[in-house]
């Protein structure tokens, strides 16, 4: 049954008052995210001289601030963090260097994600690759094997997550426009210059150990957040002719109910259904928008429920629901890797 809120224009009126940047809040969020993140690096390098085991807990703290910094970068990509377009782009580029993400390239792909989330006919740009059952069964064995590896949690949230930020973001995507192409190149130059300077200053071994200690768990958490916000039981998927933007926001994006500390670390991005209804609502106003509009308060996704979501890997062509590998064992289905 379609959510009646999705066919009503009222949701636009509800979110409109919150789709306005607040400079004071923006600067406070920036200061309490970026400054602690930068301050953690000399502390970690100092701790590494004593024992690299001391670096690990410090790296988790630094990673938490790195995630908050990425959320601000994400807001800048939507042009929602500051009122000024130039301010969003300038701050976004700098934060993109620090979070290993090219601003214009990521903004391009992420905007496509927002315009197509939940649309079965417009997948694979800016989202988690998700095949339908028919696509999987028709694929050659090597493509099935690659898809299974990519969707395997121990790969996706470890090697896959780290490789995405450290390697894949260094390469312009096929068909990228001139602005997106140069965004990748300039970000790469800035990243390599920053890493080169740090390597010469503290030593390459220290940089590698401390850097990986920060990036590996932080990227794992970041990819996890993005994954569970659109990969859960009952999530909205629809064909292009029936797809609805508001339903994709309310039913295709989760309200990820996190403990208060984790909500703070993740910059309120758990209110993802609000964010997809209106990307112009900055992260520091998402919770207020949610609380002020009971009509937009969807059923929360608990941490336990989100963990269960990792068993869902395919879109059932008939029901348009996410299903697990066990669907391939039903009568009439081909063997998974045949």
Task: Report pLDDT digits (tens) over 280-293.
Answer: 999 999 999 999 99
Angle formed by the axes of helices 103-116 and 178-202, nearest 10°: 130
Over residues 304-322, the mean pLDDT reads: 92
Cα–chain-centroid distance for residue 112?
A: 13
Overall pTM > 0.95:
no
Work out the pLDDT band at 9, boundaries 50, 70, 90: low
* Helices and strands (H, E) in the chain, number of each type: 16, 3
Please state, rounded to an integer, the average pLDDT across all residues of the chain. Answer: 92
3-state class (DSSP) for residue 297: coil
3-state class (DSSP) for residue 315: strand
Q: Do residues 79 and 85 lie in contact, with contact meaning Cβ atoms separated by under 8 Å?
A: yes
Residue 144 pLDDT exceeds 70? yes
Over residues 114-123, the mean pLDDT reads: 91
Q: Tokens 């859960």 map to which residue?
A: 232
- Position 335 scores a pLDDT of 42
- Position 124 scores a pLDDT of 82
Over residues 99-117, the mean pLDDT reads: 94
- Position 27 scores a pLDDT of 97
Residue 273 pLDDT exceeds 90? yes
Over residues 186-196, the mean pLDDT reads: 97
Q: Where are the domains of the chain?
A: 23-329
- Position 337 scores a pLDDT of 38
3-state class (DSSP) for residue 98: helix
Residue ranges of E strands in 100-182: 131-132
Listed residue (234, 318, 232) closest to 270, CA to CA: 232
Secondary structure in 3-state letters for 42-85: HHHHHHHHHCHHHHHHHHHHHHHHHHHHHHHHHHHHHCCCCCCH
Q: Do residues 281 and 80 lie in contact, with contact meaning Cβ atoms separated by under 8 Å?
A: yes
Residue 173 pLDDT exceeds 90? no
- Position 329 scores a pLDDT of 81
Task: Write 304-309 long-range contacts (CB < 8 A, 24+).
Answer: 305/232, 305/233, 306/228, 306/232, 306/254, 306/256, 308/233, 309/227, 309/228, 309/231, 309/232, 309/233
Over residues 113-140, the mean pLDDT reads: 91
**Residues contacting residue 295 through CB under 8 Å, at least 6 positions apart:** 5, 10, 11, 14
What is the token pair recorded at 316? 């059932």
Over residues 71-79, the mean pLDDT reads: 97
Q: Do residues 82 and 21 lie in contact, with contact meaning Cβ atoms separated by under 8 Å?
A: yes
Work out the pLDDT band at 175, boundaries 50, 70, 90: confident
293 φψ region: left (φ > 0), alpha (ψ -120 to 50), beta (else): beta
What is the length of the chain? 338
**Residues contacting residue 118 through CB under 8 Å, at least 6 positions apart:** 230, 235, 236, 237, 238, 243, 247, 248, 251, 252
DSSP 8-state assignment for residue 118: T
DSSP 8-state assignment for residue 334: P
- Position 336 scores a pLDDT of 42
Digit-coded pLDDT (tens) for 23-71? 999 999 999 999 999 999 999 999 999 999 999 999 999 999 999 999 9
- Position 3 scores a pLDDT of 52
- Position 333 scores a pLDDT of 53
Over residues 84-99, the mean pLDDT reads: 97
**Residues contacting residue 248 through CB under 8 Å, at least 6 positions apart:** 117, 118, 119, 236, 238, 276
Residue 5 pLDDT exceeds 70? no
Q: What's the CA gap between 126 and 78, in Å, rounded?
A: 14
Residue 338 pLDDT exceeds 60? no
To the nearest whole percent, how much of the chain has pLDDT over 90? Answer: 81
């Amino acid at each position: 049954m379609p959510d009646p809120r999705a066919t009503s224009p009222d949701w636009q009126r509800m979110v409109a008052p919150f789709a306005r940047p607040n400079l004071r809040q923006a600067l406070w969020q920036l200061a309490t995210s970026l400054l602690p993140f930068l301050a953690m690096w000399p502390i970690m390098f100092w701790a590494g001289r004593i024992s690299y085991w001391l670096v690990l807990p410090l790296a988790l703290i630094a990673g938490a601030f790195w995630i908050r910094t990425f959320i601000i970068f994400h807001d800048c990509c939507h042009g929602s963090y500051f009122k000024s377009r130039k301010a969003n782009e300038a701050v976004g580029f700098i934060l993109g260097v620090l979070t290993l993400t090219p601003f214009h390239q990521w903004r391009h792909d992420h905007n496509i994600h927002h315009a197509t989330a939940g649309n079965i006919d417009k997948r694979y740009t800016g989202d988690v690759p998700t095949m339908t059952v028919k696509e999987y069964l028709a694929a050659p064995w090597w493509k099935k094997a690659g898809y299974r590896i990519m969707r395997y949690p121990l790969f996706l949230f470890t090697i896959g997550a780290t490789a995405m930020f450290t390697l894949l973001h260094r390469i312009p995507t096929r068909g990228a426009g001139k602005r997106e192409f140069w965004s990748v190149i300039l970000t790469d130059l800035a990243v390599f210059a920053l890493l080169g300077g740090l390597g010469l200053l503290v030593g390459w071994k220290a940089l590698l150990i401390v850097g990986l200690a920060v990036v590996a768990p932080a990227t794992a958490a970041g990819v996890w957040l993005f994954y569970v916000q659109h990969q859960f039981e009952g999530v909205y998927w629809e064909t292009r002719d029936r797809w609805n933007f508001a339903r994709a926001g309310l039913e295709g994006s989760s309200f990820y109910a996190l403990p208060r500390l984790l909500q703070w670390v993740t910059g309120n991005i758990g209110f993802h259904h609000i964010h997809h209804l209106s990307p112009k609502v900055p992260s520091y106003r998402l919770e207020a928008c949610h609380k002020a509009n009971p009509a937009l308060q969807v059923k929360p996704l608990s941490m336990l429920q989100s963990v269960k979501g990792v068993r869902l890997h395919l879109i059932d062509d008939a029901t348009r629901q996410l299903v697990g590998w066990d669907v391939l064992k039903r009568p009439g289905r081909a063997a998974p890797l045949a």
